[in-house]
Amino acid sequence: MDHRLYYVVGDFLVSLLIGVVAGLAAWAIVGPGWNMWAAMALMMPLGMVIGMLIYFPLGSRLGAMEAMIPSMYTGMWAGMVVGMMEAMMPLPLHHAAEMGAACGVAEIIFIWLANTILRGVTKA
């Protein structure tokens, strides 16, 4: 992952956008009558597809592999979390968007930390 400001801000904003869109899609589909596990299982691939669709136009600007993994991971988690929450109780629209955004921010931070730890210390 590139550490230049353009890429850092781009990764953050794309993850935020994908989280919100995936969360709102899950909110629109799932209702309180759904089983939590069914909502999770169905919203996971939906979130990944949403992440991939948003990734395609932005991947050429942010890097193919650098943007694809966070995009799909963020979509997956935002869809699952908001879908399961909506299955438990009705959520207002803004709460679904906030939870999707929180998933987006949490996942990009997790991916950046994991990437930094896995790279280890290198000598230049």
Task: Per residue of the chain (124 residues), give pLDDT as tens.
Answer: 556 787 788 888 999 999 999 999 999 999 999 999 999 999 999 999 999 999 888 877 777 777 788 888 999 999 999 999 999 999 999 999 999 999 999 998 998 888 888 887 767 6
Residues in the chain: 124
Q: Are 58 and 114 in contact (CB under 8 A)?
A: no
- Where are the chain's structural domains? 32-113
Burial environment of residue 85 by CB neighbours within 10 A (0 to 12, 13 to 18, 19 or more): buried
The answer to pTM > 0.95 is no
